[in-house]
Chains A and B, each alone.
Chain A
C-alpha cells in the first residue's frame, strides 16, 4: 500500500523544522570556516570544514568533560535506580507506616529549587572532602533524580494488574520471587523510560556541576561549555562544535529512544 502524502502533514513538518532552526544553524556554524563566520551572505559554507571539531578534540577540555558527563550521568542513573526501584515498589504495593506522608515528602522533594539546596550541599560535600569529584556530583544529582524516579516508577508499578501478583502468591511464590518473575519483566519498559529521563536530567545539569567542581577532573560538559575559553575573541565555530558534541546524547534519545522518552514524560503528568 502506498502512503499518500498529505499537505497538512508536510506543512506541520516544515513548521517544526523551522522551530528547530536554531539547532541546525549551530550545526552549520560548526562546519563553517572562521573566515566565513561573520559573513552574512551565505546560507551554507562554501567549503565545510572539520577544523572546529579538531580544535575542540585536541585543544579543549571537552573530551575529558564528555568522559566525566558519561560517568556522572550513568552513575547517577544507576544509584537512583538502585535506591528508587525498591522504594517505588514498596510505596505502590506494600503496607508501610505513614505512607501518605512519605509520598508527600517525595513530591515536595521534586519541587525543591536547586538554588535553595546548593549552599548546604556545598558545605556538606566540602566537609566530606568530596569537592571536585564525581561522587559529589552523583550524590547531588541524586537529590533531584531520586524523587522523580520514585514518583514515575510507583506509577508504572501501579499499572500492573495486581491479579497477576495474587495469582503467583496462590501458586506459593514468595514476595521476592513474585518481584523477580512477575513485576520486573512487566515494569521493564517503565524502568527504561524513568532511567532515560534521569540520565538526560543528569547530563543536562549545570548548577551543581558548576558549583561543586573546580578542575577538569570532574567538570561536566555543560560546565566546560559555559566556561569555553576565548583568548582575544569568541571562538564561535569551536563553541558551535563543542555544543553539537554536548547535545549528542539528547539528540540520540530524541530520535532513537523517542518512545521511552515520551512515555516517561507523559506518565509523570497524566497520572495524578
Chain B
C-alpha cells in the first residue's frame, strides 16, 4: 500500500463517518426502535408501557378498519400511478415534438409538482366546493359534494394526486426522449415505419426502462402518501379515503396508541420494501440502467 492509498483510506473514513453517524441516528436507529415499539403496548397519557409481543399484528389480521385502509391504499396507488404513467407518457411524447417555448412549457408542467402537497389539498378543497367550486361549474352547475360523498371522495382524491405527480413522470420520459439520437428515427423512416409503428417498435421499447423506474418511484410515493389525504379529506367520509398512513397517524397521535400505530407503520414499511424489491428484480431482469 502506498502512502497515498493509506492517506486515502483515512480520508475516506473521515469523510463518510459524520454522514453515517447521522444516518444511523436518524434512520437506522428509529427503524429498529419502531420495530421494538410495535411489540409494546404504549399509551403515554396513561403511563402504560408493557411488552405484548406480536399482539398488535395479530389484532391487525382481524381488524376490519385495517383491511379497509389497505384496500383504499392499494386502489389509490394502482389507479393514481396508472393514470400518471399514461398521461405523463402522453405529455412527454407531445413535448418531444415541440420546438419553441420549452422553458415555458416545463414551467407550466412542473408547477403542480413543485407545490407543497398541503397547498394542493387547499387548492382542490376549493375547486371541489359543492356550490362555488370550479369543478362543478365546469361540469355544468351540478352540486356534486366531491369530498363529502363516499362514492366521490376517493376519485376526487386520486384526481388531485394525479394532478400533482403526472409532471414528474412526464419529465422523466421527456428527458429520456431527448437522448434518443435522431439517426434512430431516420433509420425507422428509411425502413418504411409509419408514425404508429415507430412509436410501438422504436420509442416505447427505448422508454421501457425509464417507465419502470418512474413506476417504482411513483408506487413507493403513493404507498407512503399522507399529506394530501390527511389535509384534503382527513380519511373521510366514512373512511373511504383512509389509507394505511392515515390510519397509522391517527393511532399514533390522535388516539395516542404508540405501540399499535408503530405496528401499522411497520406494515407500511414492509409493503414498501416488498414492492421496491420486486421492482428492482424486474429492472435487473431487464439489464436496464437506462
Contact = CB atoms under 8 A, between A and B. Distances in A.
Interface of A: 3-6, 8-9, 12-13, 15-17, 19-23, 25-26, 29, 37-40, 82-84, 86-87, 89-91, 94-96, 102, 105-106, 108-109, 111-124, 139-140, 142-143, 146-147, 150, 169, 174-176, 200, 203-204, 206-207, 211, 221-223, 225-226, 228, 236, 239-240, 243, 246-247, 250-251, 253-255, 258, 261-262, 265-266, 269-272
B20 A102 contact: yes
Contacts of B154: none
Given A116-B266, A146-B23, A250 B28 contact: no
Contacts of B248: 115
Contact of B107 (A40, A94, A176, A255): A255
A20 B167 CA distance: 11
Nearest to A239: B122
B269 interface: yes
Interface of B: 4-5, 7-9, 11-16, 18-20, 22-23, 26-31, 33-34, 37, 91, 94-95, 97-101, 103-112, 114-119, 121-124, 126-127, 129, 131-132, 134, 137, 141, 163, 166-168, 171-172, 175-176, 210, 213-214, 217, 220, 223-224, 226-227, 230-231, 245, 248-249, 252-253, 258, 261-262, 265-266, 268-269, 272-273, 276, 289-290
Contacts of A200: 114
A146 B226 contact: no
Contact of A139 (B26, B37, B95): B26
Contacts of B227: 206-207, 222
A169 to B, nearest CB: 7
A9 B111 contact: no
Given A83-B18, A222-B119, 14 more contacts: A9-B98, A13-B108, A16-B109, A40-B141, A86-B14, A90-B13, A105-B20, A117-B27, A175-B11, A200-B114, A225-B119, A247-B119, A265-B168, A266-B175
B282 to A, nearest CB: 14
A236 B134 CA distance: 13
Given A83-B19, A96-B16, A12 B265 contact: no
A119 B116 contact: no
A113 B224 contact: yes
A86 B30 contact: no
Given A94-B15, A102-B16, A113 B265 contact: yes
A116 B16 contact: no
Q: Which of B95, B112, B210 has the most CB of A within 10 A?
A: B112
A55 B130 CA distance: 25
Contacts of B8: 94-95, 175
B95 A169 contact: no
A147 B191 CA distance: 46
A222 B118 contact: yes
A13 B100 CA distance: 10
A123 B49 CA distance: 13
Nearest to B97: A8
Contacts of B276: 111
B11 A250 contact: no
A90 B12 contact: yes
Contacts, number: 285
In the A-B complex, list the 6 residue pairs whose CB atoms are closest, starting with the nearest: A94-B12, A87-B19, A86-B15, A143-B26, A250-B114, A90-B15
B44 to A, nearest CB: 9
Given A87-B18, A116-B269, A206 B117 contact: yes
A134 B269 CA distance: 27
Contacts of A3: 100
Nearest to B114: A250
Contact of A5 (B16, B100, B137, B273): B100
A121 B112 contact: no
A269 B119 contact: no
Given A169-B4, A270-B175, A29 B126 contact: yes
Nearest to B1: A95
9 contacts: A9-B100, A23-B111, A40-B132, A116-B266, A119-B265, A143-B23, A146-B26, A206-B117, A239-B126
Given A40-B137, A106-B23, A22 B124 contact: yes
A262 B171 contact: yes
A243 to B, nearest CB: 5
A114 B290 contact: no
A22 to B, nearest CB: 5
